[in-house]
Amino acid sequence: MSNNIDAPAPAVEQAIDPRLLVREQGFSGYISEFKRKIRGGELGSLPVIIGLIVIWAAFAASNGNFLSASNFEYIAYYMVGIGTLSIGLVFVLLLGEIDLSVGSVSGLSAAIFAVLSVTHGVNLWLATIAALATGAVIGAIHGFVFAKIGVPAFVVTLAGFLGWNGLMLWLLGDTGTINLPDTGLIHLFGGNSFFLNGDIAGAYILAGVGVAALLFSSLGEQGRRRSAKVPFRPTSEIVLRTVVLAIAAFGSAYVLNLHKGVPNNLVFFLAALIICDFVLRRTSYGRKIFAVGGNIEASRRAGINVAAIRISVYAISGFFAALGGLVISATISSANQGGSDPNNLMMAIAAAVIGGTSLFGGRGKVWSALLGMLVIESINAGLFMLGEAQSVQYMITGGVLLAAVVVDSLSRRTQKSSGRA
């Protein structure tokens, strides 16, 4: 009687759930998988890429100069400051929370740097470290009040938004503006600093390194998965991804080379994005952030220290806010009372959401900071070229943010109805 027991088990293994859409081999499999994901509401970066193309086409149609190298250089250069704030916000949004203080913290960080280095003559690097550490500590304080005392994050960071802005104004004093010398980190983030001094090779080296890194890491992973006998990406898909990245990277390098080369602050921005992407996707710390964003109770039961994750994520947000503040002050060569412009905060949140990071937590990529900033900075640059007033810029950016949130909510609803959320 018991002999016939073992036999059915392997047969059971073979049976495939009809709901499972098994990935077909090769390129057609890639297409069908892509279609299925779109139908299921997993839009990823698709809406933002389409949006970007539409925006570029619209501005190019109304002003021929929009697609010029100098304009793209302008976009690439000016998106870094707020984009850096946005990186920190992606971490917070992944938890399903919000940080309204990043604009104020960035202004405060610039003020601390300026007061220390210019007014008190402290070593530039020491002043930089002090500014960044202040940002991280402020973030940790927000996180502590939120995680340990239980005040809603919205309120804690709203208090921070007001309080740190006040501290910045107090630090800057009566004059309100401190001009920064073009040295050290400020020079590196400033408008006169290009990778390899703007040498044409510089941009191509960066693009080549990026493409090669993607190709070799994908092939390496494919090899490991193949030898471990778990599903792996087909070579055709790896080639496709590499080619797409190569077109984007070498295309950008070519365009930037037509003008002055790759600004150093863009290199720094890309490096920060790669590091953060690695932390979020490849480390257990990043996994814990996603888990807490997905289900707090489940994370707690899995032994994750939810409070520690929350505090550390707010510290990261504060750190990037401070870093972004230094970048912004470098682009305008001064720390002034406009440093904590609430507009920066709104742009940073908008960038993360437009780029595809969900407001509901647990879903998103740090690359949305880059994609979202490309959209926002393109709109700004385009409207500036058309000579539109700031008022129109705000209205249009507001509309784009709303559209992004609507897409986020709709795709979440589609995911729910197709059983994927």
Partner 1 sequence: MLPDPVRGGFGVPGPGKFVFRIPVCARDGAATHPRHRVVKELVYVTSAPVLALRGVSKRFGAVQVLTDVELEVHAGEVVALVGDNGAGKSTLVKTIAGVHPIDDGVIEWEGRSVSINRPQDAQHLGVATVYQDLALCDNLDVVNNLYLGRELKRRGTLDEVTMEQKAQELLSTLSIRIPSVRIPVASLSGGQRQVVAIARSLIGDPKVVILDEPTAALGVEQTAQVLDLVERLRERGLGVILISHNMVDVRAVADRVAVLRLGKNNGTFPVHGTTQETIIAAITGATDNAVTRRQSRTAEATK
What is the Cα–Cα distance from 12 to 224, expressed in whole angstroms?
27
Neighbours of 235 (CB within 10 A): 12
The alpha-carbon radius of gyration of the chain (Å, integer) is 23
In the chain, % helix, strand, coil (3-state, to 5) comes to: 75, 0, 20
Of 46, 290, 337, 403, the residue at the interface with partner 1 (CB under 8 A) is 290
Q: Which of residues 12-51 bind partner 1 (CB under 8 A)?
A: 12-13, 15-17, 19-20
Name residue 353's amino acid.
V
Shortest approach of partner 1 to residue 40 CB, angstroms?
8
Residue whose CB is less far from partner 1, 17 or 174: 17
Burial class for 251, CB neighbours closer than 10 Å (0-12, 13-18, 19+): exposed
Sign of CA dihedral 61, 67, 68, 71: positive
What is the Cα–Cα distance from 421 to 419, expressed in whole angstroms?
6
What is the Cα–Cα distance from 195 to 173, expressed in whole angstroms?
36
Indicate whether 413 belongs to the interface with partner 1 (CB under 8 A). no
Q: x/- contact string, 315-354, with partner 1 (CB under 8 A)? A: ----------------------------------------
Of 35, 36, 287, 413, the residue at the interface with partner 1 (CB under 8 A) is 287
Residue whose CB is less far from partner 1, 1 or 61: 1
Indicate whether 415 belongs to the interface with partner 1 (CB under 8 A). yes
Task: Give the CA-trace dihedral at 118, 122, 124, 130, to 10 degrees.
Answer: -110
What is the Cα–Cα distance from 371 to 83, expressed in whole angstroms?
9
Indicate whether 293 belongs to the interface with partner 1 (CB under 8 A). yes
CB 97 within 8 A of CB 296: no
Of 297, 387, 389, 391, the residue at the interface with partner 1 (CB under 8 A) is 297
Q: DSSP character for 99? A: -
Indicate whether 391 belongs to the interface with partner 1 (CB under 8 A). no
Of 203, 304, 352, 400, the residue at the interface with partner 1 (CB under 8 A) is 304
What is the Cα–Cα distance from 141 to 135, expressed in whole angstroms?
10
Which range of residues in 97-105, 127-135, 165-173, 276-284 is near partner 1 by CB under 8 A?
276-284
Residue whose CB is less far from partner 1, 61 or 230: 230
Q: x/- contact string, 355-374, with partner 1 (CB under 8 A)? A: ------xxx-----------
Shortest approach of partner 1 to residue 414 CB, angstroms?
12
Indicate whether 144 belongs to the interface with partner 1 (CB under 8 A). no
Of 121, 174, 175, 301, the residue at the interface with partner 1 (CB under 8 A) is 301
- Six token digits for residue 241: 């991804």
Indicate whether 282 belongs to the interface with partner 1 (CB under 8 A). yes
What is the Cα–Cα distance from 30 to 42, expressed in whole angstroms?
15
Which whole-number Å values give the CA distances from 244 to 116, 199, 271, in the listed order?
A: 45, 25, 20
Exposure class string for 150-169: b at 16+ Cβ within 10 A, else e: eeebeebbeebbeebbebbb
Q: x/- contact string, 181-220, with partner 1 (CB under 8 A)? A: ----------------------------------------
Rounded to 5 degrees, what are φ and ψ at 68? -90, 160
CB 294 within 8 A of CB 364: no
Indicate whether 149 belongs to the interface with partner 1 (CB under 8 A). no
- Six token digits for residue 277: 């992407």
Number of residues that bind partner 1 (CB under 8 A): 47
Which range of residues in 115-123, 248-256, 334-342, 411-419 is near partner 1 by CB under 8 A?
411-419
Name residue 116's amino acid.
L
Shortest approach of partner 1 to residue 50 CB, angstroms?
24
Which range of residues in 247-255, 289-297, 319-327, 348-356 is near partner 1 by CB under 8 A?
289-297
Indicate whether 120 belongs to the interface with partner 1 (CB under 8 A). no
Which range of residues in 83-91, 164-172, 280-288, 393-401 is near partner 1 by CB under 8 A?
280-288
Applying CB under 8 A, the residues found at the interface with partner 1 are: 1-2, 4-6, 8-9, 12-13, 15-17, 19-20, 221, 224-225, 228-231, 278, 282-284, 287-288, 290-291, 293-295, 297-299, 301-304, 361-363, 415, 418-421
